[in-house]
């Protein structure tokens, strides 16, 4: 059953990776506002007309 050490080991590494990501996102203020993002994503619609300025394709 040595393989269990691999699965647990890898699972923990993955978990630590995500935990670090969580802390980092928390510290960088990602979750300071838990309302605006949900509304903002409703207004990401494309522009209708092409003004051909500052094309950063």
Partner 1 sequence: MEKEQFYYDNKIVKMFLWATVLWGVVGMLVGLIVALLFIFPGLLEFTGSDNAISWLSFGRLRPLHTNAVIFAFVGNSIFLGIYYSTQRLLKARMFSDVLSRIHFWGWQTIIVAAAITLPLGFTSSKEYAELEWPIDILVVLVWVVFGINLIGTILKRRQRHIYVAIWFYIATLVTVAVLYIFNNLELPVTGFKSYSIYSGVQDALLQWWYGHNAVAFFLTTPVLGLMYYFVPKVANRPVYSYRLSIIHFWTLIFLYIWAGPHHLLYTALPEWAQNLGTVFSVMLIFPSWGGMINGLLTLRGAWDKVRENPVLKFFVVAITGYGMATFEGPMLSFKNLNAIGHYTDWIIGHVHVGALAWNGFMASGIIYWVATKLWKTELYSKKLANTHFWLGTLGIIFYAIPLYIAGFTQASLWKQFNPDGTLVYGNFLETVTQIIPMYMIRAIGGTLYLLGFILLAVNVIKTARAGSAVEDELAEAVPLKKISGKRVAGEPVHTWLERRTVLFTILTTVAILIGGLVEIVPTFLVKSNIPTIASVKPYTPLELEGRDIYIREGCNNCHSQMIRPFRSEVERYGEYSKAGEFVYDFPFLWGSRRTGPDVHRLGGKYNNNWHFNHMFDPRSTSPGSIMPRYPWLLKNNMNASNLEDKMTALAKLGVPYSDTDISEAKQALLAQAKEIETSLRQDPEFVKNYGNSNVQQKEIVALIAYLQRLGTDIKAGNTALK
Measured at the CA of 32, the angle between CA 29 and CA 38, to 5 degrees, comes to 110
Beta-carbon neighbour count of residue 26 at 10 Å?
11
Asked if 51 touches partner 1 (CB under 8 A), the answer is yes
Distance in angstroms (rounded) separating the CA atoms of residues 30 and 28: 6
Asked if 6 touches partner 1 (CB under 8 A), the answer is yes
Smallest distance from partner 1 to CB 10, Å: 6
**Interaction with partner 1 in 8-27: which residues (CB under 8 A)?**
9-11, 13-15, 17-19, 21-22, 25
Asked if 4 touches partner 1 (CB under 8 A), the answer is yes
């Amino acid at each position: 059953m040595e393989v269990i050490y691999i699965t647990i080991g890898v699972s923990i590494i993955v978990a630590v990776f995500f935990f670090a990501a969580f802390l980092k996102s928390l510290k960088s203020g990602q979750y300071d506002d838990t309302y605006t993002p949900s509304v903002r994503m409703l207004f990401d619609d494309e522009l209708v007309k092409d003004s051909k300025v500052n094309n950063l394709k």
